[in-house]
Amino acid sequence: MIPGEILAVLVVVIPGVVNITYRLGIKKATIVGASADLVVAGLMYFLRPQTGFFYIQDSTMLFIIMVLSVYLLSAIYSTRYLKGIEVMGIREPTYYLLLNLFTASMLFSLEVNNYGLMWVGIEATTISSALLLITEKSETSLEATWRYIIIVSAGVTFAFISIILIYYTLGTLSVSTAIGSHVHSRIMVLAVSLALIGFGTKVGVFPVHTWLPDAHSEAPSPVSAMFSGVLLPTALYVLYRVYEIEPVRGLYVWFAVVSIVAASIFMGYQARYKRMFAYSTMENMNLALLGIAVGGSLGFTGALLLLLSHSFGKAGAFYSSGNILRFTGKKEIAEINGMHTSMPYTSTSLLMSSLAVTGAPPFGTFFGEFLILSGVLSLHMYVQFIIVIVFLAAAFISMNYNVTGMIFNGNCPNIEKDRLMPALSIFSSVIPLFIGIFFLVVYNEIL
């Protein structure tokens, strides 16, 4: 093997190899492994694989770094978060084992040059992540797990049919070959359309999104951060690779627009803060899908910028949610108040992450949304533009109204005893701000 191939294999294998330490300190080994994997991925940016088994472009590297970064943050956050769980549905070492397998499955899906293997990787994420949902043992978490398995498994069946049709039409499942095939047929249009339903189930496309709010609200907060921050974007990456074969722009655009509308409406009626953030994820994923469907430098660049910024912002939001749940034991928005005095650090991260995921300037999400909407206008899609911008504004007002109410209504004594958990949530929520500033400084000619 040449260095590029070795690095690509290591990126996927390291999280799995960590599981050898199951009985010998897997908690620390997971953090060390995640850190080492980030270094290996950084080297792979300069030494790309040259063989046909891997298909790693600059955009792929962005997703890989994104997955590994949130994985590392969630692994560190889990060390404190799990201590507060009263009844564990799975043992702590098993939790880290599943977290590692979950990450390895996503990395595998991102790296391989084969649609069939991509599907296998996405299906593998379902198995490992479903078991993570029952970390906090309860009837509601078990119900959410079964709903997740049933709905997502039904969805990936459509994705599997899509892949069969791709092979039937092209005679290959090679991603690099399929993208450059320029084959136009009704069967290929059907395949790409079925992929929207199939992989779209994992992305959170309406109406096959129904697993999403339950899974996010019942999962441990570090797992919710992995779901929103990297699992859904990974599924979107696979969907994008299928879309590249035969862009069915009109269908994808309207599904994205309708999903944004639905997510914005559902978000405004949520009583629990984690469910509210889950619908925010649905909104952001479909906005990125809109950017992919629009295409071009504006749409695609905007989608990447949005996904990168959202991954850290939403991780910060769920880490903040975990802090609130650990320090107060409450899940309802109406039950939380006076956070600026009771949890000053968590309130800072919650406010910043809320602004980040709703696209406030100068966070990176704002510039991602700006580019995507500019791409929509460049194609003269005025109706879609108006619909999206109205409901993005509604979502912005709805979420930030709830968050500011939780923070500034009333005064309560300080209960923020743990400093590591708030520090991680602040760190994660600040990253989208630096991404936005970096983009503004370096790429101001685009604006």
In the numeric block, which tokens belong to residue 297? 């430098």
**CA 234, CA 131: separation in Å to the nearest integer?**
19
Residue 137 has pLDDT above 90, yes or no: no
Across the range 191-198, mean pLDDT stands at 92
Please report which confidence band the pLDDT of residue 258 belongs to, taking 50, 70 and 90 as the band edges: very high
Its sign, for the CA torsion 387, 389, 393, 396, is: positive
3-state secondary structure 94-115: HHHHHHHHHHHHHHHHHHECEH
Inform me whether the pLDDT recorded for 143 exceeds 80. yes
Report the C-alpha gap between 144 and 233 in whole angstroms.
21
Contacts (Cβ under 8 Å, ≥6 apart) of 418: 80, 323, 326, 327
Q: Tokens 């700006």 identify what position?
A: 370
Q: Where are the alpha helices (DSSP H) in 204-330?
A: 211-218, 221-226, 232-243, 249-267, 273-294, 296-328
CA separation, residue 348 to residues 190, 208, 317, 352, 405 (Å): 47, 34, 11, 6, 13
Per-residue pLDDT tens over the stretch 406-438: 888 877 766 767 666 788 889 999 999 999 998
pLDDT value of residue 87:
59
Least trusted range by pLDDT, from 36-50, 163-177, 185-199, 360-374: 36-50
Contacts of 13 (CB under 8 A, 6+ apart): 104
Distance of CA 216 to the CA centre of its chain: 11
CA–CA distances in Å: residue 411 to residues 101, 150, 219, 342, 405:
43, 44, 29, 7, 12
Cβ 165 vs Cβ 188: under 8 Å: yes
The crossing angle, in degrees rounded to 10, of helices 92-111 and 26-46 is 10
Q: Are 316 and 346 in contact (CB under 8 A)?
A: no
User: With contact defined as beta carbons under 8 Å apart, do 402 and 273 qualify?
Assistant: yes
Q: What is the largest CA-CA distance in the chain?
A: 66
Residue 418 is predicted with a pLDDT of 65
Is the separation of the CB atoms in 49 and 4 below 8 Å?
yes
In this structure, are residues 421 and 80 in contact, taking their beta carbons and an 8 Å threshold?
Answer: yes
pLDDT band at 222 (very low <50, low <70, confident <90, very high): very high
* pLDDT over 90 at 48, yes or no: no
pLDDT of residue 22: 62
pTM of the model: 0.93
Short-list 379, 368, 394, CA closest to 288: 368
Nearest to 34 by CA among 100, 78, 93: 100
In contact, 279 and 345? CB cutoff 8 Å: no
**Chain segment 21-43, per-residue pLDDT in tens:** 666 678 888 888 889 889 988 88
Closest by CA position to 291, among listed 205, 360, 375, 382: 375
Query: What length is written for the chain?
Result: 447
Residue at 123: amino acid letter: E
Q: What is the pLDDT of residues 301-350, one digit of tens each?
A: 999 999 999 999 999 999 999 888 888 888 888 888 888 888 888 889 99
Contact status, residue 30 vs residue 76, Cβ threshold 8 Å: no
Arithmetic mean of pLDDT, 268-280:
91
How remote is the C-alpha of 236 from its chain's centroid?
Answer: 9
Identify the H or E element spanning 422.
helix 420-442
CA-based R_g, the chain, Å: 21
Q: Partners of 349 in the beta sheet?
A: none
Residue 3 has pLDDT above 60, yes or no: yes
How much helix, strand and coil, in percent to the nearest 5, is found in the chain?
80, 0, 20
Q: What is the pLDDT of residue 23?
A: 64
Higher pLDDT, residue 396 or 176: 396
H or E, element range at 348:
helix 344-357
